[in-house]
């Protein structure tokens, strides 16, 4: 009797594994940047999916940085992890912003995750930041799903975007090459997924050369992506947990019958009451919610840049101020009364300011170098350096910058310039004299300027332009 039962059980398991038709779903997020106000709807979507089909919940990085209520919580960043634990995430890779508070902090916060942290292209031998596993294999209804994680090293100095000191002692091998090296996992899995934080442009390039992955879940570029390259599905659900990626996989035995990725907006879901309560408790912070001043209009990123550079210029009695596109984390100001939380959310990187002296020729070289940047193409061929002084970039027929015109500067002058520390430390071709690290936080400059000049009045019409050279 026992033998017969064992034989029947084995036969059933073999039928499930190699013959039966099954469905599983992968729910994916990326670049949530601590937008926990969207987590109650995210929790509902995950729970509903799990009620109907076996699911794996995955995140492609940049879980925090961008919400002052999270960044400055009693235990900084932890609210995001606690909420992800509550929602039942299974696996996540590292984004560049996971390193913002240093390796020791990241090692600690990873230890609080009840989901697996994987990243194949980071090498660490430190106690404070233990080496993460390169991959993880899950089994759902007999289907083996493998996840490999990678993070970009294309942004600056062969490490993810961020301050050099955050990455000291770590090595980041090329993520494309590393992902391709794990193609052998395909023989151990029914479905192989790359959880990637290197940008959908680099993911497309990888997929065109390596067909081992059935699905690449993209991150880092904040785009909406739903496409197929060389037989590999690529999906990316944007920014701020406004959407989720839902990949429905139908199997017959160990073979994929169909794999369909789609982007699902979360605004159609009712908020989960328990998650909503957690968010309300987090936002009950009088110090961050107290208004500092007002703006006469809702400012877009361009208008916010005008405010930032003007406040910087005034604070240091400078001729010109520069700040970079990626340092302004709001597409637009959330409201007209501006509180401290908004300012820290707009500029969450604890940026400090440098003063120096530069000629227009030196500024021109800096701007052209950034515009034509081949090392970090996601930041090139656009207005990346906002300035308090107008300028026009002239481009040739190939779209490359060849000149910059400053209508309000005298080419013979040497100007007093103020810029953010990220620009000075990371951008190329910066030549200057009398460089002084002022040690002053940009957020303090903005808070003081707003208090003294409320309501502020800035235009959303940019004063930096691009035109075709004659």
Q: CA-CA distance, 244 to 226, in Å (whole number)?
A: 12
Same domain? 189 vs 49: yes
Q: Which residues pair with 415 in a beta bridge?
A: 358
Whether residue 410 sits in one domain with residue 305: yes
In order along its 470 residues, the chain shows pLDDT tens digits of: 555 444 444 444 454 555 579 999 999 999 999 999 999 999 999 999 999 999 999 999 999 888 999 988 888 899 999 999 999 999 999 999 999 988 999 999 999 999 999 999 999 988 789 999 999 999 999 999 999 999 999 876 788 988 888 888 899 999 999 999 999 999 999 999 999 999 999 999 999 999 999 999 999 999 999 999 999 999 999 999 999 999 999 999 999 999 999 999 999 999 999 999 999 999 999 999 999 999 999 999 999 999 999 999 999 999 999 999 999 989 999 888 999 999 999 999 899 999 999 999 999 999 999 999 987 778 899 999 999 999 999 999 999 999 999 999 999 999 999 999 999 998 999 999 999 999 999 999 999 999 999 999 999 999 999 999 87
In the prediction, which pLDDT does 375 show?
A: 79
Is 213 found in the same domain as 297? no
Q: Which two tokens stand for residue 43?
A: 């929790």
Range of the domain at 200: 19-280
The structure tokens listed for 456 are 């502020």
Q: What is the CATH number of the domain that holds 227?
A: 3.60.21.10
**Does 179 fall in a domain?**
yes
Question: 264 and 321 share a domain?
Answer: no
Among 212, 246, 280, the domain boundary falls at: 280
Beta carbons within 10 angstroms of residue 326's beta carbon: 14
Which residues lie closer than 8 Å to 438 by C-beta, 6 or more apart? 316, 352, 353, 354, 355, 418
52 within some domain? yes
Of 228, 256, 280, which residue is a domain's last? 280
> Is residue 334 in a domain?
yes
The domain that holds 382 is classified in CATH as 3.90.780.10
What predicted TM-score, i.e. pTM, was given to this entire model? 0.86
Give the CA count within 13 Å in the CB-facing half-sphere of 338: 30
Do residues 244 and 266 make contact, with C-beta atoms less than 8 angstroms apart?
yes
How many structural domains does the chain have?
2
Distance between CA atoms of residues 343 and 252, nearest Å: 53
Same domain, 258 and 296: no
Cβ partners under 8 Å of residue 175, min gap 6: 121, 150, 151, 152, 153, 154, 196, 198, 202
């Amino acid at each position: 009797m026992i033998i017969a039962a064992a034989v029947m059980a084995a036969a059933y398991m073999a039928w499930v594994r190699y013959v039966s038709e099954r469905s599983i779903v992968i729910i994916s997020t990326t670049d949530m940047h601590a937008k926990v106000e969207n987590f109650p709807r995210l929790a509902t979507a995950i729970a509903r999916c799990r009620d109907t089909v076996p699911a794996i919940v995955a995140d492609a990085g940049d879980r925090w940085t961008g919400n002052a209520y999270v960044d400055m919580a009693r235990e900084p960043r932890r609210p995001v992890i606690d909420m992800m634990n509550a929602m039942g995430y299974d696996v996540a890779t590292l984004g560049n912003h996971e390193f913002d508070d240093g390796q020791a902090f990241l090692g600690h916060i990873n230890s609080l995750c009840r989901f697996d942290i994987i990243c194949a292209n980071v090498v660490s031998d430190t106690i404070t930041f233990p080496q993460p596993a390169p991959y993880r294999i899950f089994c759902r209804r007999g289907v083996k799903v493998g996840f490999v994680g990678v993070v970009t090293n294309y942004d600056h100095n062969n490490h993810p975007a961020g301050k050099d000191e955050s990455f000291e002692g770590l090595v980041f091998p090329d993520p494309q090459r590393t992902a391709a090296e794990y193609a052998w996992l395909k023989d151990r899995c029914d479905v192989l997924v790359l959880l990637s934080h290197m940008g959908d442009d680099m993911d497309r390039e990888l997929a065109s050369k390596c067909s081992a992955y059935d699905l690449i879940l993209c991150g880092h570029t904040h785009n909406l992506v739903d496409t197929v390259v060389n037989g590999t599905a690529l999906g990316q659900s944007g920014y701020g947990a406004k959407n989720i990626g839902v990949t429905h996989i139908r199997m017959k035995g160990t073979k994929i019958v169909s794999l369909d990725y789609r982007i699902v907006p979360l605004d159609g879901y009712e908020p989960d009451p328990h998650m909503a309560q957690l968010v309300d408790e987090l936002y009950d912070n009088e110090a961050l919610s107290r208004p500092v001043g007002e703006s006469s209009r809702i400012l877009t990123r361009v208008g916010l840049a005008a405010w930032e550079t003007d406040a910087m210029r005034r604070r240091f009695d400078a001729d010109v101020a520069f700040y970079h596109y990626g340092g302004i984390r709001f597409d637009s100001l959330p409201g007209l009364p501006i509180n401290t939380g908004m300012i820290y959310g707009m500029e969450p990187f604890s940026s400090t300011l440098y003063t120096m002296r530069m000629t227009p020729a030196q500024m021109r070289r800096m701007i052209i170098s950034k515009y034509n940047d081949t090392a970090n193409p996601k930041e090139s061929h656009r207005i990346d350096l906002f300035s308090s002084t107008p300028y026009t970039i002239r481009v040739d027929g190939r779209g490359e910058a060849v000149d910059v015109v400053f209508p309000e500067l005298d080419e013979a002058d040497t100007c007093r310039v103020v810029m953010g520390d990220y620009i000075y430390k990371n951008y190329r071709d910066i030549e200057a004299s009398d460089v002084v690290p002022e040690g002053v936080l940009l957020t303090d400059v903005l808070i003081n300027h707003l208090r003294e000049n409320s309501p502020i009045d800035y235009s959303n019409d940019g004063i930096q332009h691009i035109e075709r050279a004659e």
